[in-house]
Structure 1
Amino acid sequence: MSLVSILVVDDDSHIRELINLYLTMEGFNVLQAGDGEEALDIIKRQSIHLAVIDIMMPRKDGWDLCREIREEYTIPIIMLTAKGESEDKVKGFEHGTDDYIVKPFDAKEFVMRTKALLRRSKIHAEKKAVVGNLRIDGISLEVMVNNSPIDLPLKEFQLLYKLATNPGQVFSRDQLIEEIWGIDFYGNERTIDSHIKKIRKKLEEKHSLVKITTIRGLGYRLEAEPRA
């Protein structure tokens, strides 16, 4: 089995080495970068499964790095920073981070959060979901309607995959937030509604025979529509 590679981005070499120690002891392959520019170079050249990013860095800070990673890649991101105010956490999630850990941090908790995020981001690669004329490939992260691809960012993919692998089942907004974003997500239910709206629009544009139904007071479910 190939090693899981984690990129640690922090301008403090002592922090990088500390995290490197924690993660290598758990069997992870750790790569290091001192700023956002160096991190992007590494991501372009190597396969990275998760990134741990500090906010305050020279040349390219964590906000910009997180945003640029989200524009091109689907890897999960942990922001690890001394900026612990609620508005900073909200800003982090708005920029695309998946988890937010404040320094100083507990080593055991950090490792457990890292493992949990890797589990959440692994979309049951051995399974494929087929509902109506919708096909989702968990290995390639491809979504197809009538053999026409739909481009979905990671969170939209995870939402659709969760619903499509359980057709007809109702999921509450809280369930979906905890499953996709994690229990410590600092946003609100409107995040789910916004993502669902975007997914619906893309499915409709491809004339999909599945629909995501809002169950008032409960949540959402995905179901196949009958063919005309």
Structure 2
Amino acid sequence: MRVLLVEDDRELRATLREALAVEGYEVLPAASLADARALAAHALCAQGQGIDLVLLDLGLPDGDGTDFLLELRRKQSTPLIVISARQVEGAKIELLDAGADDYLVKPFGIGELLARMRVALRHRGRLLEAAVTHYQRDGLDIDLKLRRVRRDGAEVRLTPREFDLLARLVRQAGQVVTHRKLLTDVWGAVHCEQTHYLRLYMAQLRGKLEANPSEPSVLLTEPGVGYRIAEAR
């Protein structure tokens, strides 16, 4: 899921970007209307991926976010949630009538934002469950928000790429993730056929996380399809 985040407050933009990344979203950050327009246009041209959802602040340095909402609605129905400190009821109604899917007043909790995002996507036929961000099984404890991995209480050091691969599996714990999907999400679309990357990194992860790497019980292979991490318990 690709989220266009239009927010000029640097600290809030960084906080939201990090929180959304933990949930598995790819975030395209924009600090102005010009940035938002450029990113939206580029995303639409990039292999037809486009944007799955927009988070839009209103008070931007080069104009009002309302202009972007109106421009977007003339072209497409991408889910859009306004995030603003403005609390005037009339303004909220106008924006909702103009095509905004929701209006969230600052300050707000990350949990509420994520829930509203899932609702907006669901209304467009995109069923999305909350991602798993904390995983425990067989002495293994993985906390994606803290970027921390422990085995039998001892911290395990992972490389950034190892952690990203593990995190991708954790977010869909118990479900098979295909080779192509793992390669695209972790390494990028240009590497979607290079399955030797997966074999190498999965071997490294098993060596660090499995009690018996030659007979893995947590990081499992689905022959010819992909990999999955066993359900938490």
TM-score by length of 2: 0.50
The reply to whether residue 112 of structure 1 matches residue 109 of structure 2 is: no
Query: Structure 1, residues 118-152: CA drift from partner, whole Å, max 9, x if none?
Result: 1111268xxxxxxxxxxxxxxxxxxxxxxxxxxxx
Which runs of structure 1 show a deviation greater than 4 angstroms over 4 or more consecutive aligned residues? none
Equivalent positions of 1:16-95 (< 5 A) are 16-46=13-43, 47-95=50-98
Partners of 1:96 and 1:58 in 2: CA distance: 22
Partners of 2:34 and 2:63 in 1: CA distance: 6
Identity %: 31
1:221 match:
none
- Extract unaligned runs of 5+ from structure 1: 125-228
Partners of 1:123 and 1:26 in 2: CA distance: 16
1:94 Cα deviation from its structure 2 partner: 2.5
The alignment covers a number of residue pairs equal to 121
Partners of 1:122 and 1:33 in 2: CA distance: 26
1:89 Cα deviation from its structure 2 partner: 0.7
1:18 Cα deviation from its structure 2 partner: 1.2
1:8 match:
5
- Extract unaligned runs of 5+ from structure 2: 44-49, 128-233
Letter in 2 for 1:59: D
1:97 equivalent among 75, 100, 103: 100
TM-score by length of 1: 0.51
Q: Secondary structure at the match of 1:6?
A: strand
Partners of 1:8 and 1:114 in 2: CA distance: 12
| Structure number with bigger Rg | 2
Maintained 8 Å contact 1:37/1:60: no
Partners of 1:95 and 1:40 in 2: CA distance: 18
Letter in 1 for 2:73: R
